[in-house]
Copies of this chain bind each other. A is one copy, B any other.
Amino acid sequence: MHRSGGVRYDESIVRSILVKTASADYPVYVGSGLVAGFGNHLRKITGKRAGRTFVLTSPNIWALWGRQFISGFKPGEAPEVLFMPSGERHKRLSSIERLATELSAAGADRSSLLVAFGGGIIGDTGGFLAAIYMRGIPYIQIPTTLLAQVDSSVGGKTGVNLSTGKNLVGSFHHPLAVFADTDVLRTLPARELRAGLFESVKAGIIRDPRLFRYLEEKRDQVLACEPSAMMYVVSASVKMKAEVVGIDERESGMRMVLNFGHTLGHAIEAVTGYRSLLHGEAIAWGMLAALNVCRSRHLLPEKDARRMEQLIRAYGPLPGFRAKIPALLHAAGRDKKNKAGTRRFVVTSGIGRAHVIEDVTDAELAAALEPVLNEAAR
């Protein structure tokens, strides 16, 4: 396939990033045509597997991309399809129960492979299903949202929600491979694209000054979802996460920096009932609040703080919300990353640098939240 701009897109334009962790190594492919070519890729990856392939997807994704997906398989070899409706409320153990029962009724065994083809909810649920079905079967991720491509599909975290909080049950289970097809981003609603970009902004802030600059300079191309821009943004974000996860698979230390903006972002999501904001938008608000903590501690040059703030706002507008400080602090106290009472918090000391502090106080967080809440309530 050729594009008018002189940039050639075909299967050969695929970048491969290797995620290396203590427990598994696997490639993340980023590029164009990956969904349409998946049947071929699968044969290459799994060789002459005797096992069967199952796909978990959502009706929406299947309506948009199902035909392309099937097109890469030989007649009669197309995998069986399991469906899960869109929406965070389906990311629960009850879905796992239903899907596992369907797998078992269809005769899936330990040699079967599950492909999670959808956004983060499909990826997290499908990964967890693969993690616990018969105590673990292999799986492959084909993330279809930007957020899932740059964040949730890499790192091996899988899980579902409880009524008391998000991702409170789950497993570490790495995929055999991840296929991040930049083509599918074209069918993503603009708001979801922007929300996903905040994780790339975070990647720039905490570890990749070059990506940070790219997002500053190429804002228009990125927001227009231009293939070369998405290719760069997705690969750079994945590479950053792969490096961090490779150093610290189980979040004993280093991996926690990925949580920049997330302590308060998660709290904002929880307090607003996961309704008014997309995940990335809540993280963006959380990053603005985290920057206030860094500022009041004089951790980073004001120039950097301002560039970070500007970059976050450049990918807005951020939808407003209403929340009270005590409720947010209470919700932040429930974060999985807290151990036995201490509250960990990720700060930045300059573009491309982040570290974890353990002594952040409620008063500090309240002061940092106040201007953010005022702005959000306008």
Contacts and interface: CB of A to CB of B under 8 A. Distances in A.
Interface of A: 50-52, 92-94, 96-97, 100-101, 104-105, 107, 109-111, 131-136, 157, 159, 162-165, 168-172, 334, 336-341
A131 B336 CA distance: 15
A132 B109 contact: no
Contacts of A340: 50-52, 109, 111
Contact of A134 (B131, B136, B163, B168): B168
A172 B109 contact: no
Nearest to A339: B111
A163 B94 CA distance: 13
Given A93-B96, A93-B97, A101-B164, A169 B132 contact: yes
A131 B93 CA distance: 14
Nearest to A105: B164
Contacts of A135: 157, 159, 169-172, 336
A169 B50 contact: no
Pairs of residues from A and B, 7 with the lowest C-beta to C-beta distance, nearest first: A50-B340, A104-B164, A111-B340, A132-B169, A111-B339, A93-B97, A135-B170
B97 A162 contact: yes
Contacts of A107: 334
Nearest to A162: B101
B134 A336 contact: yes
B100 A169 contact: yes
Contact of A171 (B104, B132, B162): B132
A8 B92 CA distance: 53
B339 A110 contact: yes
Contacts of A163: 101
Contacts of A136: 171-172
Nearest to A338: B109
Contacts of A50: 339-341
A128 to B, nearest CB: 8
Given A157-B135, A168-B134, A162 B104 contact: yes
22 contacts: A51-B339, A92-B97, A93-B93, A93-B97, A100-B169, A104-B164, A104-B165, A104-B334, A109-B336, A109-B339, A109-B340, A110-B337, A111-B340, A132-B170, A134-B169, A134-B336, A135-B157, A135-B159, A135-B170, A135-B171, A135-B336, A171-B171
Given A92-B97, A134-B336, A135-B171, 15 more contacts: A93-B94, A93-B97, A96-B169, A97-B162, A97-B169, A101-B164, A104-B168, A107-B334, A109-B338, A109-B339, A110-B339, A135-B159, A135-B170, A135-B336, A136-B171
A104 B51 CA distance: 38
Nearest to A23: B23
B101 A133 contact: no
A162 B100 contact: yes
A133 B51 contact: no
Contacts of A96: 93, 169
A169 B133 CA distance: 5
A169 B96 CA distance: 9
